[in-house]
Amino acid sequence: MRIQNLLQFIIVLCLAAAAVHAQSAITLTSGEFVRNGGGGADPFGVVSGTFRFQNTDSNISGILMGNPGSGVYTLCDFYGTPCAPGQTIRILDHITGRTALRQDAGFITVNGHPQATVFYTGDLKFEGGTVRIPYYFAKRRTFKITVPARLTGGMAGYPTPGFPIPIFTTALNLSGTVTLVFNRKEDGSTSPTYALGSVTYSFPAPGK
């Protein structure tokens, strides 16, 4: 009898855990990711930024802090080789792992419930294709380029590192735009080159 009761208790726990896990899946319909140069004069390039994804009942936000690993880091980026008018660059930011995505100072909201502490993990790919720096921007001090962009991947949040049941999980497939801000390098050269000042991905809610 005790064995039967123990088995029933284990089954109830498993069903409860499965139910919690099923309820943690949310669909986020809009968002923004802003990347900038971050850590000052660090020659290895500490990349920083902020992200926010949301729907009517959830608001997931945080910061990005880590070493550059992809995207336009090798050309025209904050710490990379400057680019000149006429050059083509590929727009790609691929963020993976647990350490780069972090909670900011505020609460997040999941299905209307505030969460004070969250540890993120995820695999997010932001893509904007390729762009060519127009020649007619050659004499400008600063300029912007905006092109269509897409976000795919997923992320999850946990109350503590290594906790088996997430606060939320989400699969992301959003469309929008990415805006690159270029600043001219003021080095006295007669052939101007540019470096990125910021990268902003915007994914509006459907119908907006």
Q: Is residue 146 part of a domain?
A: yes
Give CA–CA dist 163/24, Å, rounded: 14
At residue 3, does pLDDT exceed 70?
A: no
* 166, 24 contact by CB (below 8 A): yes
Residue type, 15: L
Cut 0.85: pTM above it: no
At residue 63, does pLDDT exceed 90?
A: no
Cβ neighbour number for residue 84 with a 10 Å cutoff: 14
Q: Is residue 160 part of a domain?
A: yes
Can you tell me whether residue 174 is helix, strand or coil?
strand
pLDDT digits 0-9 by tens, 23-58: 589 999 999 998 875 443 333 455 678 899 999 999
**Residue 45 domain boundaries:** 2-203
Q: Is residue 152 part of a domain?
A: yes
pLDDT digits 0-9 by tens, 141-159: 888 999 999 999 999 999 9
Q: Is residue 125 part of a domain?
A: yes
pLDDT band at 110; cut points 50, 70, 90: very high
* 124, 94 contact by CB (below 8 A): yes
User: Which of left, alpha, beta for 102 (phi over 0: left; psi -120 to 50: alpha)?
Assistant: beta
| Cβ contacts of 171 within 8 Å, gap of 6 or more | 27, 153, 154
Tokens encoding 95: 């963020």
Can you tell me whether residue 10 is helix, strand or coil?
helix
Q: Is residue 132 part of a domain?
A: yes
Q: Is residue 186 part of a domain?
A: yes
Q: Is residue 208 part of a domain?
A: no
Q: Is residue 162 part of a domain?
A: yes
In terms of Cα–Cα distance, which of 126, 119, 134, 72 is closest to 95?
126
- Number of separate domains in the chain: 1
pLDDT band at 67; cut points 50, 70, 90: low
